[in-house]
Structure 1
Amino acid sequence: MKRVVRHTAAEMLAIATAIASTLTCSGPGKYVWVDAYDPPPQAEKPSLITPGDVIQVRVLGQDQISTRARVRGDGRISLPLLNDVKVAGLTPIALSTELRKQLKDFIKDPVVTVSLEETGPPSIYVIGEVTKPGVYPLDRMGGVLAALVNAGGLTQDACTDCIFVLRQGPSPARIRFTYEALVRPAGKAPTFQLQPGDVVVVE
């Protein structure tokens, strides 16, 4: 039995908003059908911080600010002086640079290091017109149809021609599927592989 990681409605809204903001460069409403989608070559990716990871933030000479925290479902952690800070999607080096900038308002010439101590299980998001929207463990071999089944299937109001995968990264994409294409053994839809952080949206 698969384990689902539940998040609050506010966290899910924050995640969806963040993804939508990331993909605005593609323009509202734009997409590519899955059969026309050619994924970019897989280059070696830097370690990005994701929800569920545990990170250690150290500020030299400031033990009261240094923090070890697990990244929440909304991609944030809480830090003294700075409150909630968005960390998901950044490398540890990029996050240390960002925290250094923010802490300059409170500390003279802060020295900040960030280390990734634990990585959470890879996950995907299934939202929209599904019975049980939420965050689910990634089944690399199961594909989009398995993600929909894990989320309880489509609701009665779902548009069966309006299933999308929102993919972040250097080449963000909005990839469109039909339910009919997912259940038939032809084309790219049934064998499309999801990646960590993908968002499956049913409109």
Structure 2
Amino acid sequence: MKNMLQLRRLLAQLLLFSLCLASWPGVAAAAEYLLGPGDAVRIVVYGNPDMTLETRVSESGKITYPLVGEVIVGRLSPSAAEKKIAAMLEAGGFLKNPQINVTVTQMQSQQVSVLGMVNRPGRFPLEGRRMLSDVLALAGGLAQDAADTVTVIRYRDGKPQREEIDIVAMFRSTELKENGLMQGGDVVYVERAPRFYIYGEVQRPSQYRLERNMTVLQGLAMAGGLTARGTERGVRIKRQGPDGKIQVLQAKHDDLLRAEDVVYIQESLF
């Protein structure tokens, strides 16, 4: 249990490092934001202020620019869009060697949603390449009561794909295979950590976070141990069975607890 708490602290530090790295100058620029439907852009032609335009990318990935008409900018980076507009203006004989600047003023298309047990849930723009760890860091990292697994819902070819990712196992792996690249429209949901309940003759009867492979004895220790009248004999667990009915089980110290278990510690008869 102590190792698990240390691992969770390490995970929080890694997410914080990921956030700092993502915000470091030049890192996001390594892979520029790609324009998409709904994005608002401002186009400036140096030396020609009358050609400044603020517009929004259409659902078909197009904008309409003076003199050249429709320009397909969807899936282009701002720098690629600059070159394309400049080439069209020069090819049409409107300007010679035009200097174009395209700025994204509002990012709509390339956003990912992070929901659930994170410190700052919300929608975040994918500026450059963002991995799962990056967007969790943008959301402030996992909250204290967060589970160790997250659900990622992706839309590929118009079809939703659902994946459960074990964050602890992901960071334990040197290859980080499950730390996948996020795309616009992806949703990350972090559930609340599983709980168990303990009452009766313990020092601190309450609900507690269920750690991995937690035994009855470890759960008892988390609740502060027995009271002066408590006994470790005859520990009972109320657990929901596959049929939905509550089962009452006699428990041993090394039995593993499950989510939503209710542990009862009896009073000693002697």
* Same structural fold, with TM-score higher than 0.5 when normalized by the shorter chain: no
- Structure (1 or 2) with the greater strand fraction: 2
Q: TM tier, shorter chain?
A: 0.3 to 0.5
TM-score, structure 1 as length reference: 0.42
Kindly indicate whether structure 1 or structure 2 has the higher relative contact order, using CA contacts under 8 Å at least 6 residues apart.
Answer: 1
TM-score, structure 2 as length reference: 0.33
Higher Cα radius of gyration: 2
